[in-house]
Structure 1
Amino acid sequence: MRALLFLDVDGTLLPFGAVGPYPVHEPAVPLYEPGHPLLTRVDPALGARLRSLGCALVWATTWGEDANTVLSPWLGLPRLPLVDWPDSDEAAETGLHWKTRPLVSWAAGRPFVWVDDEVTEADRAWVAAHHRGRALVHRVAHQVGLTDADFAVLEAWLARGEE
């Protein structure tokens, strides 16, 4: 069963909070006009790298449909499924990230990777205790977004699932 890869945007694909200027990237598709003022911070090469992981990519972001209309073309990705977030925020009382329970529910036992800049050990422990499949909850440094080191972690985890 192909693993899911839940993708956050802000702080994961779109870096923020760093000191100094951010790199400015050109679009993957020639003549594509950015639909968001910060989109040039997102390296369009990340699209090919994410596809090369062999996972089923899923937007796990508050960007909603904008992830498909703005980010997918920038990254050279097709339209991706979107996680539909609940209206309540019961996780605030438990110390969990508000995405944790919905993502485990969405995965429905399938193996998954969740890349986000806000996950904590509490989220990892909850996923380990409540998800019946393999899962990697990986924190990304929001100042730089996904890096080669992050991809090495994802690739190693995915390779272990094929053994």
Structure 2
Amino acid sequence: MARPFLFLDVDGPLIPFGAPDYPLFPPLPGPADHPLLARLDPAHGARLAALPCELVWATTWFTDANDVVAPRLGLPPLPLVDEPADSEIDGLHWKTQPLVTFAAGRPFAWADDEISAADRTWVSAHHPAAALLHRVDPRAGLTEADFTTLADWFEKLAPTS
């Protein structure tokens, strides 16, 4: 059985937009001197890689996610969902349809700060497998509670021996 996907957004979940006292991490050498990159928690890379899933970028950083973000998190280059939806549906996030298409019937979790009820309803109606649409608070980014929610959900999908 193929592993489920975890579709990852960058802005919000990995680069939080929290209060000015949000912890900043030492700068790392590399391209793109983006001012918010210091908000990336390098420990998130190992935590994400330890989840029993296949990581996939779902972000407007597009290829910069692999060129700039992944190395700072210690992640290898990841697949990227960057195809726009074939048509717009009122209230639906632009990523929703492409994620379901990319998943091709495999279970998936989606960690993003812009998930809405419309996205949940549409995925429920159009995706035959399990799906967790997990909204991350963009002020805090991924927290211990978010990692626990994701890990628990993936564990429930695992076949029992």
Identity in percent? 59
Asked whether the 8 Å contact 1:5–1:112 carries over to 2, the reply is yes
Q: 1:5 aligns to what?
A: 6
Q: 1:39 aligns to what?
A: 37
Amino acid paired to 2:19: V
| C-alpha displacement of 1:21 | 2.2
| CA–CA separation in structure 2 for the residues paired with 1:52 and 1:23 | 23
| CA–CA separation in structure 1 for the residues paired with 2:40 and 2:19 | 17
**1:133–1:87 Cα change, 3 Å:** closer
SS across alignment from 2:109: strand
Residues 1:159 and 2:160 aligned together: no
| C-alpha displacement of 1:88 | 6.3
| CA–CA separation in structure 2 for the residues paired with 1:101 and 1:87 | 6
Q: State TM-score, norm by structure 1.
A: 0.90
| C-alpha displacement of 1:25 | 1.0
RMSD: 1.6
| C-alpha displacement of 1:20 | 2.9
Asked whether the 8 Å contact 1:4–1:111 carries over to 2, the reply is yes
1:52 to 50, 59, 63: 50
Residues 1:146 and 2:147 aligned together: no
| CA–CA separation in structure 1 for the residues paired with 2:103 and 2:30 | 34
Q: Which runs of 5+ in 2 are unaligned?
A: none
| C-alpha displacement of 1:124 | 1.0
Asked whether the 8 Å contact 1:25–1:43 carries over to 2, the reply is yes
Tell me whether 106-115 or 80-89 shows the greater mean CA deviation: 80-89
Q: State TM-score, norm by structure 2.
A: 0.91
Q: Which runs of 5+ in 1 are unaligned?
A: none
Q: Runs of at least 4 residues of structure 1 off by over 4 A?
A: none
Residues 1:113 and 2:114 aligned together: no
Q: 2:59 aligns to what?
A: 61
Q: 2:16 aligns to what?
A: 15
